Structure 1
Amino acid sequence: MNNYQTLSHSFEPVFDGNSEVLILGTFPSVKSRENHFYYGHPQNRFWKVLAAVTGCAVPRTVEEKKEFLLGQHIAVWDVIAQCDIIGSSDSSIKNVVPADLSVILERAPVRNIYGNGAKACELYRKYSYPQTEREIIKLPSTSPANAAWQMERLVEAWGIVRN
């Protein structure tokens, strides 16, 4: 049975004129789409990992998350603006329309671009790199599906973002 949906990204990137780091995911999960914000699944470790890396408290509300990111000079967006997808499955993604990353890259002094997981990096290299000509650094996914990476290992690997 084919349960593909054609979906468009429904919320804006988070960045400002001080964002030095850009973290890219693939496309919002079902939970993130319901919450209208990034990494909305309660089991996703994104917010806990970044809080540990930066030595800050874990932000809870969307407003706290935005303030946290901007306060740490971190921009967040996704590689994909629109795609066909089944639920939250990155492996099901097809018919990709990439996000226009110039919206951030032309307005913020981004030093490094990081991909939250292998799929984000793969999609970036395929769809975005030809326009940006900027490398992406692969980080292990904070998704609960990445059970091989325990919290301590994730925090250690993601520590590169702090530098």
Structure 2
Amino acid sequence: MPHIKSFPPIEDSTARILILGSIPGKESLLAGQYYAHRHNSFWKIMGDLIAATPTLPYASRIQILKSNGIALWDALASCTRNSSLDSDIDKTSALPNNFDLFLSTHQNITDIFFNGAMAEKCFYTLVQHMLEPKLLRYTRLPSTSPANASLSYNQKLSSWKAVIQIMA
């Protein structure tokens, strides 16, 4: 099984919101971009919420996230995984990102949104017990992955509107 590594965070020191995935899929790793799979609805949702549409250049979408106080990262720094599916992650190989350092240098973050159940599970299992106590709100959102076909796009979008409610 290939050992994969996460990307550095997309962040700004003034970010108030952190959106966490589990770890990038194969297409994202090949492109060097978060949520690069053409059927992943993350950028379409960000387009509907904050105008970071998938048709914009990646650098422009990242800038829009930052200007809206949104940081983007993954729960895992590295793991072994055969495919792009979260269910294929070898749990014994999973290493978390350094959230203690990240949150200490991003003191304005008040909310962490998990892009799906695996991001939430990895965070709670591998990270939360190591963090300094801090008042943060945690919200699991439906995964934007094309593997999450049980919800329609509009159902996902409706749940993801919680992100812009924090921005208001």
Asked if Structure 1 and Structure 2 have the same fold, meaning a TM-score greater than 0.5 normalized by the shorter chain, the answer is yes
Structure 1 residue 51 displacement after superposition: 1.9
The answer (yes or no) to whether the contact 2:110–2:137 under 8 Å persists in 1 is no
- Cα distance in 2, alignment partners of residues 27 and 45 from structure 1: 16
* Cα shift at 1:135: 5.3
TM-superposed CA distance for 1:68, in Å, is 1.3
Matched-pair identity in %: 30
Helix, strand or coil: the match of 2:127? helix
Conserved in 2, the CA contact under 8 Å of 1:15 and 1:104?
Answer: no
Paired residue for 1:7?
A: 4
Distance in 1 between the 2:52 and 2:113 partners? 22
If the length of structure 1 is used for normalisation, what is the TM-score?
A: 0.91
Partner Cα separation in structure 2 for residue 153 and residue 75 of structure 1: 23
The Cα shift of 1:12 comes to: 1.3
Superposed counterparts of 1:118-129, under 5 Å: 118-129=117-128
CA deviations over 1:84-132 (Å, ceiling 9, x no partner): 1012121111211111123431222111001000111111110011123
| Aligned equivalent of 1:21 | 17
User: Gaps (5+ residues) in structure 2?
Assistant: none
Matches of 2:138 and 2:52, distance apart in 1: 27
Q: 2:79 matched to which residue of 1?
A: 83
Q: Aligned partners of 1:47, 1:7: CA distance in 2, in Å?
A: 23
Under a length normalisation based on structure 2, what TM-score does the superposition of the two structures give? 0.88
SS in 2 for 1:82: strand
> Which residue of structure 2 aligns with residue 160 of structure 1?
162
Q: Quote the Cα distance in structure 1 between the aligned partners of 2:18 and 2:109.
A: 6
Q: Please show how residues 134-153 of structure 1 align to structure 2 within 5 Å.
A: 134=136, 136-153=138-155
Matches of 2:74 and 2:89 in 1, distance apart?
A: 13
What's the CA shift for 1:61?
2.0
Distance 2:102 2:71 in 1: 8
Paired residues of 2:115 and 2:141 also in contact (CA < 8 A): yes
